[in-house]
Structures are given as structure tokens and as C-alpha cells.
Structure 1
Amino acid sequence: MIVEPTPHTLESLTEQLHGLSNVEAMRTLAELFPGQIVFSTSLGYEDQVITDLIASNEIPVRIFTLDTGRMFSETYSVWKKTNDRYGIHIETYYPQADAVEKLMTGKGPYSMYESVENRKECCGIRKVEPLNRALKGQKIWITGIRAEQSANRQGMAQLEWDEAHQLFKFHPLMDWTFDEVKQYVKEHNVPYNPLHDRGFVSIGCQPCTRAIQEGEDFRAGRWWWEDNSKKECGLHTHEEVFKA
């Protein structure tokens, strides 16, 4: 019996997943919502672990990524290595060309440095709108979110209801530490972005990502010019950054 995705079924679905391993939980979700479960990968450490879990165990989950047009060359490299390693084709969603052209023509290539509003506008065009298309009609969205990544992620549950997208979000690595993620990558020889070895913990668009220094917060390398401890691009918040 397929469970319809409404906030009222969150408790019962959480109970069904209780005590299951990550692989068992994702397989259960895939059985409950066949053809309507997706995993969004940024090709970072956490997402590579989840890709390995899905592909190695042949769990029927669609894997997609958002190509903003401003990614590091190293990200494209690990993308290819991942496809080759697992014999998969990661689906790709790009921003709308007319929206990018309008932004670049009107505000130039580095408008994100000028204000938080401009940065959110760029994230909205390049990431949020493509994500909305990727999630349309889906019932389960798997992510690589971990609690220790930022203060505003520590209160999140492993399974939650996303009101904005009207679906469930499942975070299989929610309780994992960064050391556990790295250990899994090492033990299973999972392809990973070489930028991680150069201090890049969280990797996004090239103009908006830098390596972090020892002792800095996990998210310090993202939009480092902004003085805000709860920096997000809009993918995992209920903030309406962009509307098509």
C-alpha cells in the first residue's frame, strides 16, 4: 500500500523506518514510493557516500545534480569518475538560460558580492528554480544534510515534511560525523572531490566557495563575505528565494 505524502503521515512513516539501516530505509522508501524518490547530489563527501549506498545496493532511486554553470573543474572530474565507477548517468538540471542572461547583462558576473539580496537572487536562478523542476511530482527527496554542518541543521529530524515542495525529505547521514563520512569514503574507495584535500569542506559554485581554516565553522567557506551564521542558498529552507 502506497503512503500518500502528507504531513499527517510523517509519524507513521518515521515509525516504519525506525531501527532500519540507511540502505534498508532508502529501499523501504523506494518501495513505498516507486518512481517518485530522488536524490540530489552536489558531488561532495556526504553525497558521494549516499551515491555509493544507492548504486552499490541497486536501490531504485533517481540521482540528479544541479549544474549552475559556475562549478569547479574538480567537481566535473568527480562527476565523470562517479558515472564511470557505478555505471550510472547522473541526471542534470541547468538554470533557465534567459534568466541567467538577464542577470549577467543587468548586474554582471559578480553581483553576489554586492548584497545578500543579489546573492540570493543568483542562488535562486541557478539552484532553486532548477531544483523545483527536479522535484516536481516527487514524493521523497534524499539529501546529504548532516546535523553538525551548521547551527540551523542541528534541530532537523532524519525524516521531515517539506511544506514548500509538498514531499518528504530523508537525510540518511543526519547523525554522522564528518570523520565517519571521510572514513566511509576511504574504506569503500569512493570517488571524491580532490578539493576536499585542500581545505574545501563544503563545495558549491567557484565564486562563492573557499577553503576553511582550522577551527572555522563547517559553512565558513560558503559566502564567506556575509556576516551570517545561518547562511543557506535556499535549497533547504522554507524561504522563497525564487519563483518561476
Structure 2
Amino acid sequence: MTRPIEELKALAEAGARELAGDPENGVPEANPADVIRWVSRNFDTAACAVACSMADAALPHYVAQYQPGVDVLFLDTGYHFSETYDTRNEVARRVDVHIVDVLPEQTVEEQNAEFGKDLFARDPGLCCARRKVAPLKKSLNGYELWFTGVRRDESPTRTNTPLITFDEKNGLVKVNPLAAWSFDDLLDYSRAFDVPVNPLLSQGYPSIGCQPCTRPVAEGEDPRAGRWAGSTKTECGLHT
């Protein structure tokens, strides 16, 4: 049974204050290990979930050092690259976590029958809402906290990502321990600890989503410029 929302909100606020540091007076923001240690002091492993797109396993690997066996939620939209599914299987085999496959209510074929083929091309917002946002919201029920791998360097919409906040939409604490990391930091960690990495990352895909909606990124482009290419959409809705 989860704690009351007001108690979780108070914990999120206290954690945000504690870990923000005071850069103006020489006190740095907390590093990822400090953030995850704070979580472990205040939340049972069973109350936590890690959201992972399977671009890499840096976040699940980092969290598992302090919360072994933690649930890792993989949003299986039915549209992923084969490399993404291969990475998911490697994470399950090599990292001390419990993979939870989060499925939409409809298969791709059932969605096509109701909405017409290739909904992602005609209404990407609705497709993401049905295949990612709604399934995640349902799967988070029963947890008190979720970890995400959102980083500030990914796009202008993520520049102000906090380490800890309260997720009003889903009703639980949201923790972004890698918020201050760069793409190179992520790769350096993965190499140092032999963490599974989606091979697409080295093939021009610094941000990996569903196969029909993701293209390689040109040099100098925003890391998420390849997501929903050709549309004005920049976020799937999980973090907005």
C-alpha cells in the first residue's frame, strides 16, 4: 500500500531542497549516486520503478547498485527497432533488475482496425497517448516513485529538469538522477561498467523511439531532432 500523496509530496520537496545544493555558495548539486542513496533511505525497492527506453542500461545499472532487483518498466509499443528489443533482453540477462513489459491495451493490428493504418503518421500525439502515456500511467499504479533517464542536454524542453519533483499527473515522486549528465557521460559510464547499449546510439541515433518515428540525427542537430521527424511534436507526453 502506498503512502498518502501529501506525504509523498513532502518527501519530494524535502529531497529537492537537500539535493539541489547551493551553487552560488560553492555547494554543488548532488551527483547521481547521492540522489539514488537518498531514494534508498526513504523508499523501499518494491515501491520504486525505473523507466527505461532501452537506448542504454546506464540508469537501471546505476539504480540496481543500491536497489538490486528493482522493477524496470519497458514500454513495448509494438513499433520498436529490433535493436531495442535485443537491448531489452541483454539488460534482463546482465543487470540485476526485474524487467516489466508494459503493453498497450491494443495490439498494433487492433489499433489499425479501429483507427486506420499508421496512426503514428496521421496523429502521433494520439498514438503516443495510447501506446506509451496511458500504459505507463496504469503501470505506475502501486509505486511511490519512478526513476527516469531524462537529461537536461537532450533538448530545450528538458533544460530545467529537476533531480526530484512530484509528478502530479501520475501521483508519485519522480526522480531524474542523470539530469546533469551529458551524452558523453552516459557513454563513458556504459563503457566503464560494461553496461548494455543499444547499437543504434553509435549509428546516428542519440535518442531512440519507435522505428517509424525516429531518424538519424545530423551533426550539430539537437539530440532529439530525429524524434517525430517531419512534425512539430517534440515530446511523447511522458515527461510533460
Please classify the TM superposition score into its range, dividing by the shorter chain length.
0.7 to 0.9
SS in 2 for 1:202: coil
Distance 1:87 1:163 in 2: 30
Distance 2:194 2:7 in 1: 36
* 1:168 partner letter: V
Q: Which residue of 2 aligns with 1:36?
A: 47
* 2:121 partner letter: Y
* 1:22 partner letter: P
CA displacement, residues 147-179 of structure 1 (integer Å, 9 cap, x when unaligned): 011111112211111111111111011011111
Distance 2:213 2:39 in 1: 34
Segments of structure 2 that go 5 or more residues without pairing to the other structure are 21-28
Distance 2:172 2:133 in 1: 16
Q: Which residue of 1 aligns with 2:121?
A: 113
Question: What's the offset of the Cα at 1:108?
Answer: 2.8
| Length, aligned pairs only | 229
* Further displaced range: 6-15 or 210-219: 6-15
Q: Which residue of 2 aligns with 1:104?
A: 112
Residue 32 of structure 2: which of 9, 12, 22 is its match? 22
Distance 1:106 1:2 in 2: 38
Segments of structure 1 that go 5 or more residues without pairing to the other structure are 238-244
* 1:44 partner letter: A
Query: In angstroms, what is the RMSD of aligned CA positions?
Result: 2.4
Does the aligned pair in 1 maintain the 2:50–2:73 contact within 8 Å?
yes
Mark the CA change 1:187 to 1:6 in structure 2 (over 3 Å): closer, same or farther: closer
What are the residue-to-residue correspondences of 1:46-57 with 2, within 5 Å?
48-57=57-66
Residue 15 of structure 2: which of 5, 13, 16 is its match? 13
User: Is structure 2 residue 87 aligned with structure 1 residue 85?
Assistant: no
Does the aligned pair in 2 maintain the 1:124–1:234 contact within 8 Å?
yes
What are the residue-to-residue correspondences of 1:1-244 with 2, within 5 Å?
5-17=7-19, 21-34=31-44, 35-45=46-56, 48-59=57-68, 61-97=70-106, 100-101=108-109, 103-114=111-122, 118-227=123-232, 231-237=234-240
* 2:134 partner letter: E
TM-score by length of structure 2 reads 0.86
Does the aligned pair in 2 maintain the 1:5–1:167 contact within 8 Å?
no
Does the aligned pair in 1 maintain the 2:15–2:38 contact within 8 Å?
no
Question: What's the offset of the Cα at 1:216?
Answer: 1.0
Distance 1:16 1:158 in 2: 10
CA displacement, residues 24-51 of structure 1 (integer Å, 9 cap, x when unaligned): 4323313422221111111113xx1111
CA displacement, residues 85-118 of structure 1 (integer Å, 9 cap, x when unaligned): 12544111100027x555311433323223xxx1
SS in 2 for 1:148: coil
SS in 2 for 1:220: coil
Mark the CA change 1:186 to 1:122 in structure 2 (over 3 Å): closer, same or farther: same
CA displacement, residues 59-110 of structure 1 (integer Å, 9 cap, x when unaligned): 4632111100111110111111111112544111100027x55531143332
CA displacement, residues 188-229 of structure 1 (integer Å, 9 cap, x when unaligned): 21111111111011111110111111111111110011135x
Mark the CA change 1:36 to 1:197 in structure 2 (over 3 Å): closer, same or farther: same
Mark the CA change 1:3 to 1:206 in structure 2 (over 3 Å): closer, same or farther: closer
* 1:192 partner letter: V
TM-score by length of structure 1 reads 0.85
Distance 2:40 2:139 in 1: 17
